[in-house]
Structure 1
Amino acid sequence: MYPIQDRDYRPGIDNLLVLLIGGIPIAMPTVLSVTMAIGSHRLSQQGAITKRMTAIEEMAGMDVLCSDKTGTLTLNKLTVDKNLIEVFAKGVDPDTVVLMAARASRVENQDAIDTAIVGMLADPKEARAGVQELHFLPFNPTDKRTALTYLDRDGKMHRVSKGAPEQILNLAHNKSDIERRVHAVIDKFAERGLRSLAVAYQEVPEGRKESAGGPWQFVGLMPLFDPPRHDSAETIRRALDLGVNVKMITGDQLAIGKETGRRLGMGTNMYPSSALLGQDKDESIVALPIDELIEKADGFAGVFPEHKYEIVKRLQARKHICGMTGDGVNDAPALKKADIGIAVADATDAARSASDIVLTEPGLSVIISAVLTSRAIFQRMKNYTIYAVSITIRIVLGFMLLALIWKFDFPPFMVLIIAILNDGTIMTISKDRVKPSPLPDSWKLAEIFTTGVVLGSYLAIMTVIFFWAAYKTDFFPRVFGVSTLEKTANDDFRKLASAIYLQVSIISQALIFVTRSRSWSFVERPGLLLVVAFVIAQLIATLIAVYANWSFAAIEGIGWGWAGVIWLYNLVFYFPLDIIKFMIRYALSGKAWDLLIEQRIAFTRQKDFGKEQRELQWAHAQRTLHGLQPPDTKMFTERTHFTELNQMAEEAKRRAEIARLRELHTLKGHVESVVRLKGLDIDTIQQAYTV
């Protein structure tokens, strides 16, 4: 354009510098890095150490959390009720069962089960009193049991083992005789939320610790109670309110998982791990694909580490941002696979190495607090990104129009001053006061760039209009009585450059208050540091515009009168920024936008987050599941089609809700659940209160 305008190349180089300095968001990497670093430090203070900075962004977008039960949802402080111990061997009493279980426990470096068992003895030393330990088999996720081989006072060799009932039952020589009774006791314990621990015993007549030994004798079953954490129910409710679906992934029995889920209010729609392989499916879910089953389930019981990996893999295939908690060596693959691997407190080194976040405090509340903090951090980064895009557009477009229309070349040095003051102020956004998103958040690029381009274009037009009014008209001198800045001899732009500098500096920095807020910018209170930095930066900018007579920068002071006019001009044109922001958000929420990009974006701005579409899909799936022919949508107009399907969706939901209430949440069901929990006799109560 400069050759066409018959202008010297030197102003063109100056303008090129202006566009490079003002158009490139040089501070973006620094601002984003500082924001994440400060946020990471805040997370560590809350008990969540981030090993990878980008995990903060992924935590903000997490919509599914697969949580272990023991130690996370519960206290992992086990207690045993000796009165409920079931004995299966002749000549054995509950005290003997406890002693055998204690001998099959570690006396040092104990886990929660060992601590509970040994703690039942009058003296912990009784666990090894009168015996000589020969070999101890520690617990591992595959065998799911421990065993001790020892010599008694008479020199005879024995072996005791405790562990998962199914594993111990498989050892018993009389499995077929006692299997039904064992499962009945396990179910009775599970209905009351009690885990079962089996104990077995065998003699080793060969006298060698490596030998297989004689037949195993199933000695008894011990009930273990692991109470839920006092804050787990409230934490799960908070998670659901935040759009995070918590799924219980436990190695315990299905009945225990359901009872724990009922107590914590996280649902009882749980399945055994065999359902992941397409086995043991109820009639209600037999037609569901595995991926959809995992997505809709509230949890899975009896899982092994490989099941955790499969759950994460399939959830990710359904486009979920998945978090997974773990503590053991075998959890490492699932933690590595998850978008956010979370090593709980007291996790092994292998689990911590594979995770993205390491918790220093137990419980689920730490994770939910980290989610809120991560969303606040992400919100700050998104606010700044919209601001940076807007400023880039306003600098490039605004000064380009001034150069092309009026041959006005803004001094590069003054653009450098604007950049320094703006970037220094924006650094404080890392500690800004923000409202975290109520739902999982992500980089909505269409929204960010559309908002940035529109706001930046508006600011550029503001500058062009101001330049025109000050340079080509007498509006400001006539209305406000200030000196004229109209075109002078030899095109002296020094005072006009100062005026443009102040106008651009003020409104550019004020834009951050618009981009940081979801509602009106003057309603959401910003952080004190941001306000102080803005005031100081613009005070400096105003003093420069009023007093600076810098020949090297080609500016001249304009006085306090013009400074007041520019502040008033910016204030008047600041208020439409919020309205424009709302209009952009409204435009992006419509159906036309989704059709324009063929629904290929990774987010939705549909009304109620696409609730209507999800209901239609759900109704279609329910009709197909029950063998009903879906309606021929070609026979309907679009309006009729949506109306009919909406009605079917509502009817299907009502039927499902009635069935669910009838099956799970009737008054009788609640009463029976409480009665089982308290160990009362339901028949006695019914006779006493029958009218």
Structure 2
Amino acid sequence: MTQATVMNLTTQDSFKVAKGAPQVIIRLVGGDDDAVRAVNSLAKRGLRALGVARTKAGTLEEYELVGMISLIDPPRPDSAETIRRCNTMGVDVKMITGDQQIIAKEVAHRLGMGRVILDANHLVDEDKSEEEITDHCIRADGFAQVIPEHKHKVVELLQKRGILVGMTGDGVNDAPALKKANVGIAVHGCTDAARSAADIVLLAPGLSTIVDGLMTSRAIFQRMRSYALYRITSTVHFLMFFFCITIAEKWTMKPILLILICILNDAATLVISVDNAKISAHPDKWRIGQLIFLSVVLGALLTGLSFGHYFVAKNVFNVTKDQLEAIMYLHISSAPHFVIFSTRLSGYFWENMPSPIFFIAVMGTQVFAMLICVYGVIVGEPIGWIWGIAVIGISLVYFIFLDFVKVYIFKNWTFEFTARAWPSKTRKEKLIARRAREIQQKRVWISIDKVRQVGLQIKALEALKA
């Protein structure tokens, strides 16, 4: 509330004027039911109100209401679409505002958000435990009548539950929460305090840039995971095969061919950075155990295929030493390179097509390896087109089999699976706590859905009456 004293210099008469939040001004004048109804009527339309009062004639202590000024503070034009896109990407959006609760509900409705808006006093309710307050924060769609301390409190409570929190703001009062959040985002036109406290500063107006950032970060994550999975798989394959075959058969490959394998592998993996990464519908998380387990399985299966090529070519078809070396070189160059098309995705390889540059680069290494083996360049003795097509064809069929293995592991690798496969006290406790939260959350969402349905029915009845 702001107050000022006005004096008439001619008559020396003076009076005080006050303006501020409607509830404060109404309390200042001793209450006014008509004013309360007017404020509520404005709030239902998403309009803010500013109360104005002045002292009565002959006194500087007793105030009377002058009126209410309606103000509109519309959401940014792209806010509704940004919130919708964030929700589809698995990001829960909560609104934090200093407006009245009824205004916050109307704004949330316009933005397509839920209307479970809590008064900020719930955050400092001494009758409730911190656990209960945190549950309310998680379930709420927004908070009304907040002050800077409340914003910081919301971020802190959510983080204690292990939730990664991003916070947007533009003012000085947003700085503490921006600093506390895992990712503080200062919007376009923010104050210096908000800019210094934030991790990211948006240079373009609106909030849609946040979604672009989410998509870019998830694409980068997918490429990193694809590279790690392919690199570990190929390394396991090379080490297991060459170590075992050297000990068992005393067989080695020419150094020039080993160098070619390394060069072609690097050429294929470099273009992962320009691949068409599939954006996940939910936040990503590094699962190191899953990554290593899958890499070892794929590497072991590739090793088995390599041994099959070696013994069949040597013992069944009785190829020469140079031809055997060329066949094994072509196989080791082609089989892992086909697998790179599988490691791009957690689903089936055909669900998302690779970029043209990625496809050309990988297939180019295949063509190069096949030609030098078919015509005997570098490898010593040509193997002919029949062997070349046979090796590539077997690698292609085996790649499809490995893709199904990969999908099966991705689908069945869950926290429950790891807790049962490698039981420990910590995992069991986490599993019990997770199941309890899931049951409680399910009950809560059922209750919230019922409340929303009742709210829609009430709104429909009010519309009919109008």
Task: Name the TM tier (shorter chain).
Answer: 0.7 to 0.9
Find the structure with the greater CA-based Rg: 1
Residue 274 of structure 1 pairs with residue 64 of structure 2 = no
Alignment correspondent of 2:348: 520
Deviation at 1:314, TM superposition (A): 0.8
Alignment correspondent of 2:87: 240
Distance in 1 between residues matched to 2:32 and 2:326, nearest whole Å = 91
On the 8 A contact 1:587/1:593 being kept in 2, the answer is no
Alignment correspondent of 1:665: 456
Instruction: Give the TM-score normalised by structure 2.
Output: 0.85
Deviation at 1:398, TM superposition (A): 1.5
Deviations 1:289-346 (A, max 9, x none): 1111111111101111221111111111111121111111232221122122111111
Equivalent residue for 2:96, pick from 242, 249, 255: 249
Deviation at 1:657, TM superposition (A): 4.5
Letter in 2 for 1:422: N
Deviation at 1:526, TM superposition (A): 0.9
What is the 5 A alignment of 1:162-311? 162-166=19-23, 175-178=28-31, 182-199=35-52, 219-278=66-125, 289-311=132-154
SS in 1 for 2:305: helix
Letter in 2 for 1:665: L
Distance in 2 between residues matched to 1:498 and 1:149, nearest whole Å = 97
On the 8 A contact 1:391/1:508 being kept in 2, the answer is yes
Distance of aligned partners of 1:402 and 1:169 in 2 relative to their CA distance in 1, 3 Å threshold: same
On the 8 A contact 1:333/1:354 being kept in 2, the answer is yes
Distance of aligned partners of 1:584 and 1:323 in 2 relative to their CA distance in 1, 3 Å threshold: same
Distance of aligned partners of 1:186 and 1:414 in 2 relative to their CA distance in 1, 3 Å threshold: same
On the 8 A contact 1:544/1:557 being kept in 2, the answer is no
Alignment correspondent of 2:310: 467
Residue 331 of structure 1 pairs with residue 174 of structure 2 = yes
SS in 1 for 2:228: helix
Alignment correspondent of 2:289: 446
Distance of aligned partners of 1:656 and 1:524 in 2 relative to their CA distance in 1, 3 Å threshold: closer
What is the 5 A alignment of 1:416-455? 416-455=259-298
Q: For structure 2, list consecutive stretches of 5 or more residues without a partner in the other structure.
A: none
On the 8 A contact 2:338/2:396 being kept in 1, the answer is no
Distance of aligned partners of 1:288 and 1:564 in 2 relative to their CA distance in 1, 3 Å threshold: closer
Distance in 2 between residues matched to 1:228 and 1:339, nearest whole Å = 24
Q: For structure 1, list consecutive stretches of 5 or more residues without a partner in the other structure.
A: 1-144, 204-213, 478-483, 486-492, 623-651, 676-681, 686-691
What is the 5 A alignment of 1:335-414? 335-414=178-257
On the 8 A contact 2:77/2:206 being kept in 1, the answer is no
Highest relative contact order (Cα 8 Å, sep 6+), 1 or 2?
1
Alignment correspondent of 1:580: 405
Distance in 2 between residues matched to 1:586 and 1:360, nearest whole Å = 40
On the 8 A contact 2:376/2:383 being kept in 1, the answer is no
Q: Provide the alpha-carbon RMSD of the alignment.
A: 3.6
Deviation at 1:152, TM superposition (A): 8.1
Distance in 1 between residues matched to 2:237 and 2:181, nearest whole Å = 41
Letter in 2 for 1:536: G
Deviation at 1:350, TM superposition (A): 2.4
On the 8 A contact 1:414/1:501 being kept in 2, the answer is yes
Distance of aligned partners of 1:414 and 1:246 in 2 relative to their CA distance in 1, 3 Å threshold: same
On the 8 A contact 2:86/2:211 being kept in 1, the answer is yes
What is the 5 A alignment of 1:499-510? 499-510=327-338
Alignment correspondent of 1:529: 357
On the 8 A contact 1:390/1:456 being kept in 2, the answer is yes
Distance of aligned partners of 1:263 and 1:286 in 2 relative to their CA distance in 1, 3 Å threshold: farther
Letter in 1 for 2:395: N
On the 8 A contact 1:499/1:558 being kept in 2, the answer is no
Equivalent residue for 1:594, pick from 414, 419, 424: 419
**Pairs aligned (count):** 457
Deviation at 1:454, TM superposition (A): 0.8
Deviations 1:76-131 (A, max 9, x none): xxxxxxxxxxxxxxxxxxxxxxxxxxxxxxxxxxxxxxxxxxxxxxxxxxxxxxxx
Deviations 1:477-496 (A, max 9, x none): 6xxxxxx23xxxxxxx5543
Q: How many percent identity over aligned positions?
A: 36
Letter in 1 for 2:146: V
Distance in 1 between residues matched to 2:201 and 2:69, nearest whole Å = 33
What is the 5 A alignment of 1:613-632? 616-618=439-441
On the 8 A contact 2:327/2:383 being kept in 1, the answer is no
On the 8 A contact 2:323/2:383 being kept in 1, the answer is no
Letter in 1 for 2:38: V
Distance in 2 between residues matched to 1:224 and 1:444, nearest whole Å = 50
Equivalent residue for 2:380, pick from 556, 563, 570: 556
Deviations 1:599-630 (A, max 9, x none): 8679x99xxxx8x87553447x77xxxxxxxx
Deviations 1:109-162 (A, max 9, x none): xxxxxxxxxxxxxxxxxxxxxxxxxxxxxxxxxxxx667889988698998664
Instruction: Give the TM-score normalised by structure 1.
Output: 0.59
Distance in 2 between residues matched to 1:365 and 1:158, nearest whole Å = 49
Deviation at 1:661, TM superposition (A): 2.5
SS in 2 for 1:460: helix
SS in 2 for 1:220: strand
Alignment correspondent of 1:643: none
- The structure carrying a bigger helix percent of its residues is 2
Distance in 2 between residues matched to 1:388 and 1:434, nearest whole Å = 17
SS in 2 for 1:177: coil
Distance in 2 between residues matched to 1:308 and 1:541, nearest whole Å = 60
What is the 5 A alignment of 1:52-63? none
Deviation at 1:395, TM superposition (A): 1.4
Distance in 2 between residues matched to 1:341 and 1:590, nearest whole Å = 30
Distance in 1 between residues matched to 2:261 and 2:62, nearest whole Å = 83
Distance of aligned partners of 1:370 and 1:150 in 2 relative to their CA distance in 1, 3 Å threshold: farther
Distance of aligned partners of 1:240 and 1:549 in 2 relative to their CA distance in 1, 3 Å threshold: closer
Deviations 1:41-90 (A, max 9, x none): xxxxxxxxxxxxxxxxxxxxxxxxxxxxxxxxxxxxxxxxxxxxxxxxxx
Distance in 1 between residues matched to 2:336 and 2:15, nearest whole Å = 82
On the 8 A contact 1:389/1:452 being kept in 2, the answer is yes
